[in-house]
Structure 1
Amino acid sequence: MSFIDGRIDGEKIFEGRVFPKILLPSKACEGNLIEIVKTEREKLEKMLKEHGAILFRGFDVRSAEDFSSVVEAFGHEEFPYQGPADRTKLADRVYTTNAVPLDVMISFHHEMAMIKEFPRRIMFFCMQPSPEGGETSIIPSNIIVEKMEEALPQVVEKFVEGGIFFVLHTKATYNKNGRVVWQRMLKTTDKIQGEKRAKEMLSCNTVKFNSDGTADFTFGPMNPVREFNGKRVMFNRILGYNTGERDAYVAFKDGRPIPLEATKVIERIYEDNCVDISWEKGDVLLVDNLTVQHARRPGKHPRIVLVSLSD
């Protein structure tokens, strides 16, 4: 291969394999990631399945257009984004990442896990790393299940047997353009059409549009543990969050919240088993969205990380 193995601080070993896999350019390849991907595509696909994530570091990728060419080189079909995040297209198949303010943590999740159809792969590109923080954190979802079964077997049993409710609450307005969040998300101002689109696009069971402009989307009861690539993964969010324009909470089937003690254990499992990618300019990160969750640590401006989704 036209790569050499690299290392990063905080990398982990799961099931005898390094996570994530780090690939650096060999002297012979001159840093041309596009041509290398075209040549080594099958090997890279096998590597992604084995390791869950691959970080390409030190290659000559400088712009959104360069990143677009890397994405095309993999030969995967484009997957259109649907969901609550606000994204801007910068090049073919290349978009801005979540516009949530940089000082806010974006919690761990699988991309579009609450949508009926979701991408198999995500690619990130760092055009400008944050001067402080701003790491993208990743964790294998099957490890979450394994660790929870060890520490919280009764909670996992309740997840699997009864399922959970996930309630997404969108705030009234969005600070960029003043539009109501649910209207931007569903691309309509009509509540009847909005409810129809929500149930067609999302996997939600009920939608409630409130008089103050907020909205509540209820998902479930559903089993958050699913199987992909022969692995049992925690595919749906099991912890609540708040990003400013929307928040969410999780409850068992009987409506009771997950106990605080269990929530603290789950949070510790995430923190103990995740890897923070401290971005360097030109980094490209390929993630298996079916088996690996990602998050964003709080950071400072300027930070420019772009994203592309594929099937």
Structure 2
Amino acid sequence: MSEHGTWQPHEITPRSAGCAATVDGLVEHLREVDLTALLTAEKALVFRGFGVEPGALDPVMDMVLPNRLAYVHGNSPRTKVGRNVYTSTEYPAPYTISMHNELSYAAHWPARLLFYCQIAAATGGATPVVDAQLWLESLDPEVRAAFAGGVCYQQNLHDGLGLGKSWQQTFETEDRAEVEAFLDGTGANWKWTADGLRVSQVRPATTRHPVTGVEVWFNQSDQWHPAALDDEVARVMTQVMSQDELPQSVTFADGSPIPDEYVFQVRDRGLDAAIDVDWRVGDLLLIDNVLVAHGRRPYTGSRRILVAMSD
């Protein structure tokens, strides 16, 4: 393990920032710091103790997310609750969401993600975060070499009735022409089918940060691979459907299968190296989406984490 194994998100409180324990105090502090430099250096920032209410989120988001993005071409189920503000992935509470960089399977991804805790879980529900360079370094050389050529993601998006997300939900439009124009700009292969839309796209398994140049693990092969599906519905799907029929699947870029044991190693080492951010109501977490991957621990009770993203 490299020296990055001691990495932790950087916590900012009213005391450490020397400002009032209010939203206005946080906004004033953000005006005074070079947030881009700070986030690049620290990779993830946790803001605690500022008493941020849901109705006061916009001024904070305007400071930390220069260009709030829509969750277009996103594959996880979530609900839009404001101006490009969404619930975090609506996946059943008993299950872990493994580590991933948001939209790393897409042609374009957000540079930053901001999470906000509106309702904290009764137990569990932490957001684990991992240094994506450390994650890459933790993988066996054999696995890293196997992924060097990249991966191919495939989606089957139904037309309003079926498993997984519809193409209308995925692209936030009812207009096929808009979808076609978007996909043509991504280099993806796509075709309309009797049931909806099939999309396939080859992407690299790693990327480099635009400022630091550091290479990081940057793909979602473990989340798209049938072997890693851990809820009952997903298990049944893999038994009754071929891989080409699944809502989403992944192979190596040349179409050859990714061994199950590679997928398990990627998933487990990312989770093992992760640091849990435990939530209190009003907390915010800002991450560099290339330098840091995130996930979700299982939980009990109600939990509502909102998320927004920016380029």
SS of structure 1 residue aligned to 2:271 = helix
Q: Which residue of 1 aligns with 2:180?
A: 196
Over residues 212-257 of structure 1, what are the superposed CA-to-partner deviations in whole Å (9 max), with x where a residue is unaligned? Answer: x36432111x322111131101222121445869753332234222
CA contact (8 A) 2:114 2:287 kept: yes
1:235 to 193, 210, 218: 218
Higher mean C-alpha deviation, range 250-259 or range 301-310: 250-259
For this pair of structures, how many residues does the alignment match?
A: 289
Q: Which residue of 2 aligns with 1:136?
A: 127
Instruction: Name stretches of at least 5 consecutive residues in structure 1 with no aligned partner.
Output: 1-11
Q: Which residue of 2 aligns with 1:279?
A: 279
Q: Kindly indicate which of the two structures has a greater share of residues assigned to helix.
A: 2
CA contact (8 A) 1:55 1:283 kept: yes
Q: Distance in 1 between the 2:42 and 2:58 partners? A: 23
Q: Which residue of 2 aligns with 1:260?
A: 260
Q: Which residue of 1 aligns with 2:101?
A: 110
Q: Tell me how far 1:92 sits from its aligned partner.
A: 4.6
Matches within 5 A, 1:116-265: 116-148=107-139, 151=140, 153-160=141-148, 162-170=149-157, 173=160, 181-187=166-172, 193=177, 196-197=180-181, 199-200=183-184, 203=186, 205-211=188-194, 213=195, 215-220=197-202, 222-228=203-209, 229-241=212-224, 242=229, 247-265=247-265
Q: Which residue of 2 aligns with 1:7?
A: none
Residue type matched to 1:299 in 2? Y
Q: Tell me how far 1:174 sits from its aligned partner.
A: 6.7
2:15 to 14, 21, 26: 26
Over residues 45-72 of structure 1, what are the superposed CA-to-partner deviations in whole Å (9 max), with x where a residue is unaligned? Answer: 3321112101112221122x22222112
Q: Tell me how far 1:308 sits from its aligned partner.
A: 1.7
Change (3 A) 1:18 1:252: closer
TM-score (norm 2): 0.78
Q: Distance in 2 between the 1:109 and 1:274 partners? A: 11
Over residues 169-218 of structure 1, what are the superposed CA-to-partner deviations in whole Å (9 max), with x where a residue is unaligned? Answer: 4467579xx99712322345576x376145236x463224443x364321
SS of structure 1 residue aligned to 2:143 = helix
SS of structure 2 residue aligned to 1:19 = coil
Q: Distance in 1 between the 2:291 and 2:182 partners? A: 25
Over residues 110-142 of structure 1, what are the superposed CA-to-partner deviations in whole Å (9 max), with x where a residue is unaligned? Answer: 222233332211111001111132221211211
CA contact (8 A) 1:186 1:197 kept: no
**Identity across matched positions, percent:** 26
Q: Tell me how far 1:305 sits from its aligned partner.
A: 0.8
TM-score (norm 1): 0.78
Q: Which residue of 1 aligns with 2:308?
A: 308
CA contact (8 A) 2:160 2:168 kept: no
Change (3 A) 1:248 1:14: farther
Q: Tell me how far 1:289 sits from its aligned partner.
A: 1.0
The two structures, once aligned, show a CA RMSD in angstroms of 3.3
